[in-house]
A and B are shown apart, each in its own frame.
Chain A
Amino acid sequence: MRRLSLSARLGLLFALCTGAVSLIAGTLFDRASEAHFIELDRELLTSRLAGFREVLAGVDSPQALSTRRVALDTELARHPDLGLEVRGLRGEPWLERQPGGEQHSGGMSEATAVRSLDAPLDPQQPDGPQLTLLLDITHHQHFLERMQRLIWLTVGLSALATALLGAWVARSGLRPLRQMTELASRISARSLTERLPEAGAPAELAELIVTFNAMLARLEDAFARLSAFSADIAHELRTPLSNLLTQTQVVLGRPRPLEDYREALHSNLEELQRLAQMVNDMLFLAKADHGLLAPDRHPLRLEKELDAMLEYFAPLAEERGLVLSRHGQATWPADRGMLRRALSNLLDNALRFTPDGGEVRLDLTPFDGGVRLVVANQGTPLDPGALPRLFDRFYRVDPARREGGREHAGLGLAITRSIVLAHGGEIHCESDPGWTRFILRFAETPAPADDLRCASRDH
């Protein structure tokens, strides 16, 4: 079944309401007029009764009645809309006169509607002959019938009119909604920058518009990241691929000593390993995006894991005279392999940006219902604008290193973040002159992002 439009629905409802209201009003008016007519008729009949009683005073038999015939006819002639019946003591009819002077004995014609008033002929003798006054009310009936027709017509017309007016009102009232629909239908991947106008929107729609615009903003952001990611993939793959192509073609271009071939193959191997590593990292991230990272979590003594990581990086640190240290203890359920991978990326990053002889420190702070882990390194502060983008794929702090960065594809921090998220944690970075800190927070109930930011400032 086709759904009715809101305008049609509202129009019909308006029509129904108007119809019902005018029907009730009409019916009440009809009833009231009828009651009013009955009252008028009764008063009229009562006032006429006195005249007839006077004419027929003392009549106690049909014979006595016939003697008053002339006076009676005169009285009836003065009131052509009246009729009269006189009955004896046992109800036997002595006289029947229909309104309008007709004198047939068998009931009344069908077209004639009458109202009657029964009364004893002599008010002093209730058991005496009975008088029935008949009033022709055909014209009243006609009036009432006309009025009822008018009422039905009014009901019908007003319902129709409100239906149309209501539909029109609803349509114009819903115009902002329609505009919103139009705009929404125009929005595609190419036009995510469009926004619904928030100013001038009706109060009921304002919230919806704000929500809708916020959704568009999120979509735009996600889409921009995705586009950038695709472009980056292409770019990142293109450099090593073109190296491979060029080098292989040049080497094969003319005969060479064996050593040159060996050298070319080695060089290709290095490029290919970078490509393979990148593809594997991207598969890992794709898995994370699809929620397929299923950390196999067991309670871990985090200080032991951190010490193992520091031991792993110790040769590297010693070479450059860096001081590595770990402070604090905590136990938290985590997937050991994933945690190590995440920490390895953070430490690799920290070591890379620490000047020779500098310090890298790890801090573990358990708090109520959670653990905070800080990886801090000395070094020049990062550009504040870069902080939120650090965890983006292929993002590198120094743009000069984008092109063919030897070993770092720029996926490490993205992988770290996806691992932290898979563990229900949060990660962000702070940088001030002297120290750059990556702050990981794992809690049973994740804290809102703002709260997180404030809570971490004091470190």
Chain B
Amino acid sequence: MKLLIVEDEPKTGQYLRQGLAEAGFGVELACDGLDGEHLALTGDFDLIVLDVMLPGRDGWQVLRAIRAAGLAVPVLFLTARDAVEDRVRGLEHGADDYLVKPFAFAELLARVRTLLRRGQGQTQETALRCAGLQVDLLRRRVERDGKRLDLTAKEFALLELLLRRQGEVLPKSLIASQVWDMNFDSDTNVIEVAIRRLRNKVDDGFAQPLIHTVRGMGYVLEAREA
């Protein structure tokens, strides 16, 4: 997977490149709008992370050029000002998603993966598994090591999300958005509590914990080496 980052702020660009590279992507970084546009039009990228405020050509112009060239590559916008939010929403210049700075890297990573997955077309799975954990999506049954687990509807949805994206760190805001349709950052510790309760059912009494807290970033479901 090849990603292009167009970001003029050197520190931000550098950290984004490092973070995304360490998450397993091939990353190129352009430091202004002209370079970015050139790279976007000539390189073959799977996703472009585009800052709106750029010297030379701003993000809108770059995006327009990309779409004018007939490229359908997903574009994730980074905006520094909340006011632009409405424009992104309203005008739908062809951006696929956006993040308002300051954002959490975990959030960016989760969005990037969502966009890339969207492009691939989702396979209709009927069952998800991780180590001894099995989820039957059709019959909505959960078993671990052959033992039936009794989950509420929301706990089931939460577990399904964690399983579908196992190995990915999912930030609280993404979980709130995907499971409860709460699309805003909030102070509440609802997600913490919900995860704890799910963990009680899924992990308690089993030797290997599957649901892990990544401090300050979010939660991940994976079978870690002991």
Contact = CB atoms under 8 A, between A and B. Distances in A.
B182 A294 contact: no
A341 B86 contact: no
A344 B183 contact: no
A311 B154 contact: yes
Interface string A299-321: 00000000010011111101100
Contacts of B154: 311, 314-315
B86 A311 contact: no
Interface string A347-365: 0100000000000000000
A314 B104 CA distance: 27
Interface in B168-226: 176, 180-190, 193-194, 197, 215-217
Given A340-B182, A344-B182, A315 B187 contact: no
B138 to A, nearest CB: 23
Interface in A316-348: 316, 318-319, 337, 340-341, 344-345, 348
A273 B197 CA distance: 24
Contact of B187 (A277, A286, A292): A277
Interface string B81-110: 111001000000000000010111000000
A287 interface: yes
A314 B176 CA distance: 13
A284 interface: yes
Interface centre among B83, B103, B186 (most CB of A within 10 A): B186
Interface stretch (A228-236, A404-412, A424-432): A404-412
A337 B184 contact: yes
B82 A283 contact: yes
Contact of A316 (B86, B184, B185, B193): B193
A269 interface: yes
Contacts of A318: 197
Contact of A344 (B83, B186, B215): B186
B101 to A, nearest CB: 9
Contacts of A313: 188, 190
Interface centre among B185, B187, B217 (most CB of A within 10 A): B187
A218 interface: no
Query: Do most interface residues of chain A lie in helix, strand or loop, or is the interface mixed?
Result: helix
Contacts of A142: none
A407 B189 CA distance: 9
Nearest to B186: A344
B10 to A, nearest CB: 19
A280 interface: yes
B184 A341 contact: yes
B197 A280 contact: no
Interface centre among B176, B180, B183, B217 (most CB of A within 10 A): B180
B216 A266 contact: yes
A279 B102 contact: yes
Contact of B190 (A275, A286, A316): A316
A392 interface: no
B185 A280 contact: yes
Contacts of B104: 273, 276
A173 B184 CA distance: 62
A96 interface: no
A341 B216 contact: no
A194 interface: no
A266 B182 contact: no
Nearest to A313: B190
Nearest to A280: B185
A80 B186 CA distance: 120
B145 to A, nearest CB: 25
A340 B184 contact: yes
Given A276-B102, A316-B188, A341-B186, A287 B193 contact: no
Contacts of A316: 188-190, 193
Contact of B215 (A269, A276, A277, A314): A269
A294 B83 CA distance: 11
A118 interface: no
Nearest to A290: B83
Contacts of B187: 277, 348, 407-409, 412
A34 interface: no
Given A283-B81, A318-B197, 11 more contacts: A277-B185, A280-B102, A283-B100, A312-B176, A315-B190, A315-B197, A316-B188, A319-B193, A340-B184, A409-B187, A412-B186
| 10 tightest A-B CB contacts, nearest first | A269-B216, A276-B102, A283-B82, A315-B194, A341-B184, A315-B193, A312-B180, A348-B188, A266-B215, A407-B187
20 contacts: A266-B216, A273-B104, A279-B102, A280-B82, A283-B81, A283-B82, A287-B82, A292-B83, A308-B180, A311-B154, A311-B180, A312-B190, A315-B193, A316-B188, A337-B184, A340-B184, A341-B186, A344-B184, A348-B187, A408-B187
